[in-house]
Amino acid sequence: VVYSTAVPLSNPELQEAYRRKVPVIRRAEMLGELMRMMRYSIGVAGTHGKTTTTSMIGAVLTEGGLDPTLIVGGRVKSVGSNARLGGGEYLVAEADEFDRSFLRLAPTVAVITTLEAEHLDCYRDLEEIKDAFVEYANKVPFFGWVVACLDEEGVQDILPRVERPLITYGLSAQADVRAEEVEFSGMNSRFLVVAEGEPMGEVRLQVPGLHNVKNALAAISVGLALEVPFGTISKALEKFAGVHRRFEVKGEVGGVMVVDDYAHHPSEIRATLQAARLVGRKRIVAVFQPHLYSRTRDFAMLFGRSFLESDLLVVTDVYPAREGPLPGVSGELVEDAARKVGHREVYYVEDKEKLAGFVAGLVRPGDMVITMGAGDIWKVGEALLGILTRKGCGDGGS
């Protein structure tokens, strides 16, 4: 029986497995064993961007005929699942830093997308997180590569301690693989790829935002390292349709577009709202469900600042996930923080069941509503589309 860190030891299936003396191992341990069986394994780590980057790398290797096995933290639209069993000798998987799970892996290629303070329930501070990422990077064999985003300050901080061959990517002029001439148009973008000073060609994406340009650069870097032709890489990324719960358009009714996103960290929220602004709607209505009491407590003020890019903010109560309540911690902390930093229109609706109806009373044609959080906030977006449809605003659906 394989279980993830999200499953408590009190889970009845786990308890029954122990009772029957069935072998029980953690997901990261099983993933490490799978990686050892493959000729090439690619692990994608980082505070943000893991799921999309992993999916993009999978798309590139699939287009290149390498038939990879793919293990992702979200449902990939082109696959219809969070996993794909390939027939080739390549494995692409997310490497989760939570609970130091990624230290059980020794990938041939270790990607590091971002590095910030997160999971402070299992790390003492940012310095301890950096130490863990250095250890992860140096588990790469001498013949492999570390692929790291040079634009990220936290990543820059650890690079002097990385002892394996390094490929950097980003918008920085010093990156080995970089994007130039970046242009955005609605949900799409295009950019020129320059690798080792040589222009490679243009890449077009149908997933919005500068953060997705960087995610694509990670996939391009891995593809080039594994000798996938650039034309094949470009074709794969142009066809890439995204991942469920990552800026997923749920529908549009009466001129109100509803989008759902997994963003649950201040930096992710900021990147998502910046991407939303590029789409060109009149107003952005952010509907946020904080995830974890400890994260809400630790990052309340940063959450408040991250929502300044929205025109309206509606906050509901915390999704507890694996935690019990903490005294004085609720979604009101985020509402209060947003007001303190100058947000002009903020609401707090504690009862999630009333949230869709409340938002329906705020929106008008031209708005984009974005439900945000790692819990079950996506249900509110679907309920909102239903309410707007019943009000006679138009037809729902994507």
Are 125 and 278 within 8 A, CB to CB? no
The catalytic residue among 63, 94, 268, 335 is 94
User: Would you say the C-alpha torsion 257, 262, 266, 268 has a positive or negative sign?
Assistant: negative
DSSP string spanning 28-49? Answer: HHHHHHHHHHSSEEEEEE-SS-
Q: In what order do the strands lie in the sheet with 283-288?
A: 248-253, 256-261, 367-372, 283-288, 312-315, 346-348
Please provide the size of the chain in residues: 398
CA-based Rg of the chain, rounded to a whole angstrom?
21
Q: In what order do the strands lie in the sheet with 177-185?
A: 81-84, 69-76, 90-94, 40-45, 109-112, 145-149, 166-170, 177-185, 188-195, 198-205
The catalytic residue among 51, 69, 168, 296 is 51
SS3 (DSSP) at 318: coil
Q: Where are the alpha helices (DSSP H) in 25-100?
A: 27-37, 50-63
- Tokens 């209060």 belong to 336
51 classed as catalytic: yes
CA distance 349 to 98: 30
The catalytic residue among 50, 139, 250, 352 is 50
The token pair at 206 is 């149908």
**Which stretches of 186-262 are assigned E, i.e. beta strand?**
188-195, 198-205, 248-253, 256-261
Q: If we measure between CA atoms, which residue out of 119, 275, 126, 129 comes closest to residue 211?
A: 275
Q: If we measure between CA atoms, which residue out of 301, 309, 324 comes closest to residue 370?
A: 309
Active site residues: 50-51, 94
